[in-house]
Amino acid sequence: MEKILYIKANFKEENDSYSLKLGRKFIEDYKVKNPNAHVKEIDLYQEDLAHLDHERIGIVFSPESNELTKYVEEFMEYDKYVIVAPMWNLSIPSILKTYIDHIVVAGKTFKYTEEGPVGLLENKKALHITARGGLYSEGPGADFEMGDRYLRTILGFMGIQDFNTFAFEQTGVFSPEQLNEMLEKKYKEAKKLTEEF
**What pLDDT does 96 receive?**
98
Domains, the chain, with CATH or none: 3-193 (3.40.50.360)
Residues 6+ positions from 93 with CB-CB distance below 8 Å: 9, 10, 11, 44, 85, 86
pLDDT digits (tens, 9 = 90+) for 128-146: 999 999 999 999 999 999 9
- Cα angle for residues 96, 194, 9 (degrees, 5° grid): 15
In this model, does residue 67 exceed pLDDT 90? Answer: no
Alpha carbons within 13 A on the beta-carbon side of 166: 30
Render the burial of 148-174: b for 16+ CB within 10 Å, e for the rest: beebbebbeebbbeebebbbbbbbeee
**What pLDDT does 190 receive?**
93
3-state DSSP of 92-124: CCHHHHHHHHHHCCECCCEEEECCEEEECCCCC
Positive or negative torsion for Cα 58, 100, 108, 155: negative
Query: Do 15 and 49 form a contact (C-beta atoms < 8 A)?
Result: no
Q: Identify the bridge partners of residue 3 per DSSP, sorted by sequence position.
A: 38
In this model, does residue 64 exceed pLDDT 90? Answer: no
Render the burial of 31-69: b for 16+ CB within 10 Å, e for the rest: eeeeeeeebeeeebeeeebeebeeeeeeebeeeeeeebb
**What pLDDT does 94 receive?**
96
Q: Identify the bridge partners of residue 172 per DSSP, sorted by sequence position.
A: none
- Cα angle for residues 159, 7, 186 (degrees, 5° grid): 100
Cα 107 from Cα 42, distance rounded (Å): 24
Q: Which amino acid is at 50?
A: A
> For the residues 17-24, what does the mean pLDDT come to?
96
Residue 12: φ, ψ to 5°:
-70, 160
**What pLDDT does 48 receive?**
84
Predicted confidence band of residue 70 (pLDDT cuts 50, 70, 90): very high
